[in-house]
Structures are given as C-alpha cells and as structure tokens.
Amino acid sequence: MYNRRILRPAFAICVLVSQWSCTYVSNGEKASTESSSLEEEDVPKESKSINVILMIGDGMGLTQITAGWIAKRDALNLERCPVIGLSKTNSSSNLITDSAAGATAFSTGKKTYNGAIGVNPDTVAQPTILEIAEKNGIATGLVATSSITHATPASFIAHQPSRLLDEAIAADFLKTDIDVFIGGGKKFFELRTDHANLLTQLKEKGYAIANGVEEIGLVKTGKLAGFIADEQPLRFSEGRGAILTTASLKALELLDQNDKGFFLMIEGSQIDWGGHANDSQYIIDEMIDFDNAVGQVLDFAAKDGNTLVIITADHETGGYGINAADDDGTIVGGFTTDYHTATMVPVFAYGPGAEAFAGMYHNTEIFHKMLAAFSIRLPVNSAPKQVEIQ
Ligand code: MG
Ligand code: ZN
C-alpha cells in the first residue's frame, strides 16, 4: 500500500505530466520539420573511420551501478571511463519515459511518445543512427539480453507505432543491411501469424543463422543472425552464462572486419527487469554481467585506439535505494515503484571524442554526439528541438 508521503509526489508528477503534454502540443512540433528522409542523411564521411559502441544498461540508474560496485566488492569496469555526463530522460508524452521512447531518443535524436519504435510523435518513421551509418558504409550491429525485437534494440532498426508489434519489428530487420545481431526472439522470425519464414529470407540475404553461443562462435566472417532464445533469454541467475560478453566480442570480431568502421549497440536488457521485480539480487547479477561486458569492450577500445565507447541508460527503474549492506556485499534495497522513474541517468564515455559527453543534456543529444563522432552532418532543418519540462 502507498502512504500519503508517496501519493503526494505521485500526484504532483501527474499534474506536471498533464501540463507538460499541453506545452508539447502547443509547441506545435510537426512532422513536416522532422520527417527528413534517409537520402538527406547521405552525407559522406569527412575523416578517417571511427567505431562507435553504444552500451545501454536498461534501467541502470546510479543506485543500480552503486549496488553492483558494493556487491562486486571491487571497482567496476565502468570506472575506467574518464568522462561522465548526465542524461535527462523524459519522453515527449511523459515525464517518465519507457524503453521504446528512451532508445528512440538515442537512435533518432527525437523525443517521442512512450511505446514508439523509431517513429516521431506523429508516428512518422525517423532515420536511425544504424540506418544512417549503413548509408555511409559503416558496419552495424545489435546485441541484447532480451528478444532482439524488444523495445531497446528494435528502436535502432525498426519503425513501428508500438513496441508490442514484435513480428512487424522482426520484419523490419529484413529492410536493412545490418551486419550482426545477437539476442533472443527467434520465434518472431520463424513462428509468425503471417506464416512467413524470415530466417529463410535472412539466409537468402547472406546471413549465417546461428542458434546458441556455440554456433554463434563458429561464425568467423560475413553477416550473422544469432539467436540465444526463442523468446526472452534466461536471467543470468538462471544459467544464461556470459552470453552478453561472448556475443559482444563476436560482434566486435565481425564488425571490425569493415574498413569504414562500425556502429554497435549492446544492451544489458535485464537490469530493468530486476528493477520492475523490486529484486536487488536480480539487479546486481545483471549489473555485474553488463559491467563484465563493459570491461571487454573497453579492452577492445583501448587496443584499437580509434573506438568511442558510450555507456548509459534509457532511464532508472524501481526508484531504487540502498538502505544498508552487509560485510559480504548483500544489499538491503528499497524501492519507490515497480516502474521507471524520472531521475537523470549517467553517461560514461571512453575513447576519441569522449569529452563531448561531459555535462548535462537531453537523451536526444547522444544521437547528435554519436553522429558528430562519425563526422556525419544532418540537414539543417532536422536540428534537435529540446523538450523541456515547463
Ligand atoms: Mg530494453
Ligand atoms: Zn522497464
């Protein structure tokens, strides 16, 4: 049961959101100024190739990171990043974003409504950084510990009015030339209501279809569609193993074979699910698994010297607090909600251009900063519009 002390801020947020929705509408942001086509983005790269790796810990607020550090009883790999910023996560429709709007902000530079996958508030498809990268000859990849059609990875490759449309999102993978994707959700490609077999179509496009880590490990070159579950992958605590790290390393191995650089998004999907479950141990297991992948990615970047790594979250989940911890690292956690919160989330950056990620800014800026790292310019009329809370 919620007590009055919780209800009051909840009421305040409702008022804030409703006022803000009106403000958004009255600002009159129209599709006409936002519906830039993919062709318009097709500006040649100006400098030597660079790799950009965006790592998203879904629901990874500062407390989730702190819990991981306490439980690990050692420094996190995240701490190797010399630059830290803060990201304001609100969506166009809500003070509290969901993962679809949060990832679409990163992938398109546009604030949109909760549930939107790669579309603006008018449901008009927006070019994603993955598509823009492809147009510029940059190799692309997605890795997740959820279904690959889940909101976060989907927002980089698909354009759908709702995150619930897994089969339509899967079909959108065929409309791109993504080089590598590894995650769950095989059934949305194979056992579909329209009876299409997208795995066959992927094979015809030249993809190796690999099921499970062993098969994924055998693919040494070319395009890869790797599946680690029919629907959602197991929790780490249920025996998922170090799939996130091995999948990330496989993606790096394949993408690094492209001379023009690559864009790779890696998601630790289930930190969020631990927050929804109000389960400290679930959060910690997923947080440390994600941080282990961070360590391997930073090792790659350190060795490569021309790789920018950005590590952030779409939002915080759970209103998580640490009230105490035992000497063995066991956390006594508290939660204010089983949903997301509006609190800002940290942005960590490492590598060439990392300093651009210092400061406090909207989540949409991460898109523009990544494009700048690639030396890709957008048309003037698609300059970002900030959606501030009034
Ligand atoms: Mg997610
Ligand atoms: Zn969530």
Query: CA-to-CA distance for 42 and 36, rounded, in angstroms?
Result: 11
Distance 362 CA to ligand 1 centre (A): 19
Please check whether residue 264 is in contact with residue 224, taking contact to mean a CB–CB distance below 8 angstroms. no
Tens of pLDDT, residues 17-40: 333 332 222 222 333 333 344 444
Instruction: Report pLDDT for 327.
Output: 87
Question: For the whole model, what pTM was predicted?
Answer: 0.87
Distance 88 CA to ligand 2 centre (A): 16
Instruction: Report pLDDT for 258.
Output: 95
Instruction: Report pLDDT for 20.
Output: 34
- Helix (H) or strand (E) holding 285, with range, is helix 280-304
Chain centroid offset of residue 15 CA: 29
Q: What number of residues does the chain have?
A: 390
Structure tokens belonging to residue 132: 């823009």
Tens of pLDDT, residues 153-194: 999 999 999 999 999 999 999 999 999 999 999 999 999 999
Ligand closest to the CA atom of residue 100: 1
Query: CA-to-CA distance for 100 and 102, rounded, in angstroms?
Result: 5
- From the candidates 91, 99, 147, 269, which is the catalytic residue? 99
Instruction: Report pLDDT for 358.
Output: 98
Amino acid sitting at position 362: H
Ligand closest to the CA atom of residue 272: 2
99 labelled catalytic: yes
Distance 272 CA to ligand 2 centre (A): 5
Tens of pLDDT, residues 75-87: 999 999 999 999 9
Q: How many Å from the N-terminal Cα to the C-terminal Cα in the chain?
A: 31
Query: CA-to-CA distance for 274 and 67, rounded, in angstroms?
Result: 12
Instruction: Report pLDDT for 381.
Output: 56
Parts of the chain with a pLDDT under 70: 1-48, 379-390
Q: Enumerate the H helices of 271-362 as residue ranges.
A: 271-276, 280-304
Domains and CATH numbers, the chain: 4-380 (3.40.720.10)
